[in-house]
Structure 1
Amino acid sequence: MLDLKNVRKQYANFSLECSMQVKRGSITGLIGANGAGKTTIFKASLGLIHTDGGEIRMMGKTPQQLTNEEWEKIGVVLSDATFPNILTAEDAGAILKKMYHRFDKADFEEKCRTFAIPMNKKMKEMSTGMKAKLKILMAMSHQAEILILDEPTSGLDVMAREGILDALRAYMEQEERAILISSHISGDLENLCDDLYLIDQGKIRLHEDTDVLLDQYGILKVTESEFAALDKQYILAYCKEDFGYRCLTDQKQYYMENMPQIVIEKGTIDEVMKTMLKGSSRKGVSL
């Protein structure tokens, strides 16, 4: 559905160089610290910025080759996109009806009621959460085949986020759809995404199926003497801590069976990201 191959973008103090893929029928998460390159990937994928090399294919075509009909199959939420403050949700619906042939006005209005978005309230009078929910509903309102969602749940409380995640799951019940989503809230992605990419300083550091990450990855917490004696063939990254070392592995079961005396914790998205970004990668590092 979306394929980036060796895509490069150079700014004065930032360089992007990455490859990634979003497949039909899947939800792909993109995680990383602020400034890591997530938004650059989203904008490059949509042809909103010029790239310096590589290849981007959306539904088999470059962004520049997509027809108006094909653009209608893409729903977008960008973190820095804003609405004119004088518009209401009703105004937004009227604009969408003119822009998209497959816009479902009745469904849009029903979802607005479900998520407590008043139809006649101006954007400037809406809370941050209301505007965030409205952006997501607008992206889903025209039966898009792929959603590109950059921090779509930012500013939402727990219940509102869960409602939106349920809506995204319902959206994926129709076959051949896909979602690319970024979020700072790892719990949302753990319960939603089929696979995850970790980006750091413009480069993809890790790509893994979410189920594999949660089941097979682990965090080893070892003393300095335990670290010195540790079999490091399955260590992906490590970092120094007050107690000794924190080590990331994708073979948790191996260490549970062979080193039962050490502390081994589940590899959540937060723990994996923290260790990968804070620590030293095993690649190119003598352990």
Structure 2
Amino acid sequence: MLKFEGVKKHYKDFELNLTMEVPEGYVTGLIGANGAGKSTAFKAALGLIRPDAGVVKMLGKNVEDFTVQDKERIGVVLADSGFSGYLRVKDILPMLESMYHKFQKEDFLEMCKKYQLPLDKKIKEFSTGMKRKLQIAAAVSHGADVLFMDESTAGLDVMARDEMLDILREYMETPGRSILISSHISTDLEGICDDIYMIDEGKILLHEETDKLLDQYGLLKVKADQYEALDKAYILAHKKEEYGYSCLTNERQYYQENYPDITIEKGKIDDVIIMMKRGQQE
């Protein structure tokens, strides 16, 4: 559905070097700190920047060859963009109808009703969560096959994030769709993503299925002598601590069965990010 094939983009103090894929029917997460390269990847996919090398393919063709009709098959939600605050929801209806041939007005209005987005109120009076839900409603109401969401949970409270994820789950009920969603908040991705890519300094550090990451990864807390005796075949990274070492593994059960005396914690996405970025790779 979406592929980055050796995509490179050079800036003065940053370089993107990206190969990744979002299969049809998948919700794929791209996670990393601010400045890691998430937004640059999105701009390349949306044709907002031209890569220095490599290609981005979407819906079976090179993004650089996209027509207006092709672009209508894409939905986009960006954290730092949106509708003018001086417009009301009813003011943007004719805009959406003219922009998208397949705009589903009734579905859009139903979402506005469900998520309490008043039609007559100026958007500048909306809360951050209401503005984001309006963006998503517009993005999913024209039959888009691919949905891009860049840091779309930023600034949202718990309830607003939960409602946003509900909209995305409903969107994915239609076969043949995919979502690429980025965030620096790992818990936003755990409940919806099929797989996750971790990006840092423009490069992918890790790609894993979400279920496997949560079920099989773990953090070993060991003393120095225990670390020396440890079978490191399934250790991905380690970090020196005051008590000894913390070690990231993708085979937690192996160490639970063979090293019953060491402390082993279930893996969390945040732990994996910290260890892959700050730990020493094996």
Mark yes or no: TM-score above 0.5.
yes
> C-alpha displacement at 1:231, in angstroms?
1.3
Report the TM-score when normalising by structure 2.
Answer: 0.96
Aligned equivalents of 1:36 and 1:242: distance in 2?
Answer: 29
Instruction: Give the unaligned 5+ runs of structure 2.
Output: none
In the alignment, is residue 223 of structure 1 matched against residue 223 of structure 2? yes
Matches within 5 A, 1:1-287: 1-282=1-282
Contact 1:9 1:15 in 2 (8 A): yes
Aligned equivalents of 2:26 and 2:207: distance in 1?
Answer: 14
* Secondary structure of the structure 2 residue equivalent to 1:248: strand
Aligned equivalents of 2:219 and 2:195: distance in 1?
Answer: 19
| AA at the equivalent of 1:102 | K
| AA at the equivalent of 1:250 | N
Is 237-246 or 91-100 further displaced after alignment? Answer: 237-246
> C-alpha displacement at 1:276, in angstroms?
1.0
Aligned equivalents of 2:54 and 2:224: distance in 1?
Answer: 43
Aligned equivalents of 1:151 and 1:230: distance in 2?
Answer: 39
| AA at the equivalent of 1:272 | V
| AA at the equivalent of 1:166 | D
Aligned equivalents of 1:61 and 1:80: distance in 2?
Answer: 28
Q: Structure 1, residues 207-254: CA drift from partner, whole Å, max 9, x if none?
A: 011111111111111122222222111111111222222111111111
Aligned equivalents of 1:242 and 1:77: distance in 2?
Answer: 43
**Over 3 Å off, 4+ runs:** none
Aligned equivalents of 1:13 and 1:147: distance in 2?
Answer: 29
Q: Structure 1, residues 125-184: CA drift from partner, whole Å, max 9, x if none?
A: 222221111111111111111101111122222122111111111111111110000123
Cα RMSD for the two superposed structures: 1.2
Aligned equivalents of 1:113 and 1:41: distance in 2?
Answer: 34
Contact 1:136 1:152 in 2 (8 A): no
Contact 2:77 2:149 in 1 (8 A): yes
* Secondary structure of the structure 2 residue equivalent to 1:28: strand
Aligned equivalents of 1:152 and 1:136: distance in 2?
Answer: 9
> C-alpha displacement at 1:82, in angstroms?
3.4
* Secondary structure of the structure 2 residue equivalent to 1:120: coil
* Secondary structure of the structure 1 residue equivalent to 2:5: strand
* Secondary structure of the structure 2 residue equivalent to 1:137: helix
Figure out how many residues of one structure are paired with residues of the other and give that number: 282
* Secondary structure of the structure 2 residue equivalent to 1:69: helix
Aligned equivalents of 1:144 and 1:235: distance in 2?
Answer: 41
> C-alpha displacement at 1:201, in angstroms?
0.5
> C-alpha displacement at 1:188, in angstroms?
2.2
